[in-house]
Amino acid sequence: MRLSQFSVCVALGFASLGQASTIFETSGPVDSLATFPFFGVTWTQTQTYNNVSISGVLGFSSPSGGLIAYLTDSIGPGTTQAGNEIANTTITGITAAPALVNLFTGLTLGPGTYFLTAQDTGGTQFGLTNSPVESLGSGVTSTCDYTLDSPFAPYPPATQGLIKVCTGIWITSTVGSAPEPDTLGFSGAVLGLICLLARRKTVATK
């Protein structure tokens, strides 16, 4: 079966829409299950990602245990829930072998620096690797993971003591789609115009 130029262009246009891509990912074997009052990862991105999902490898040693995860665009003194929090979630009642647990879905994250801080509320174990393989999306950079030092602030991301953790890295995955829908729509319109002109040229030369 022979496809027309227009059909091929339409197929290419739809194939380029809505595909999830890696923003920030750390993979590797689970070398240890560690407990911390708080543990976190941070990254910086230069473009907007939509429909973002964030997951981390976790184990839970107690059926009543769990964690609270905070996603903020700031950390340390001056950070507030009202001014800097993008989302938070509470996970409880998971008693399974270490697995990639979804923390957030459906987020839109613009250019900036983000901090994912997980607070152990009892029985949480973080899946750490000593042989991290880091995958970064376009325009994304990362630094060491971190934990927080006491005394802890009432709003944990505002805690002053920040300790970098550069060995024993938390296995996490952050994926999303880019660019923004408006940009995709513009790109699709341009592609459609090019295809239409090509089709007219083909018809005219027959």
Handedness of CA 68, 69, 71, 72 (dihedral sign): positive
Cα separation, 82 vs 107, in Å, equals: 17
Establish if 18 belongs to a structural domain: no
Percent of the chain with pLDDT over 70: 74
When comparing pLDDT for 192 and 63, which is higher?
63
Looking from the CA of 122 toward its CB, the CA atoms found within 13 Å total 6
Residue 110: inside a domain:
yes
Give domain status of residue 39, yes or no. Answer: yes
Q: What is the pLDDT of residue 206?
A: 52
Tell me the pTM.
Answer: 0.78
- State residue 77's pLDDT score: 97
Structure tokens of 142? Answer: 């990362």
Within-domain flag for 153: yes
In a domain, 95, yes or no: yes
Judge whether 51 lies within some domain: yes
Strands (E), 61-180: 66-72, 85-92, 99-109, 112-122, 124-129, 133-136, 140-142, 145-149, 161-165, 169-170, 172-177
Total domain count, the chain: 1
The parent domain of residue 116 ranges over: 34-186
pLDDT at 95: 64
28 phi and psi angles, rounded to 5 deg: 150, 170
Average pLDDT of the segment spanning 30-49: 94
Q: List, in order, residues 6 or more apart from 185 with CB less than 8 Å away.
A: none
Mean pLDDT, rounded, of the chain? 81
| Residue 19 belongs to a domain | no
Which of the four pLDDT bands, split at 50, 70 and 90, describes residue 186? very low
Higher pLDDT, 119 or 94: 119
pLDDT, tens only, 70-110: 999 999 999 999 999 999 999 886 666 788 999 999 999 99
Residue 166 lies in a domain: yes
Give the CATH number of the domain where residue 129 resides: 2.60.120
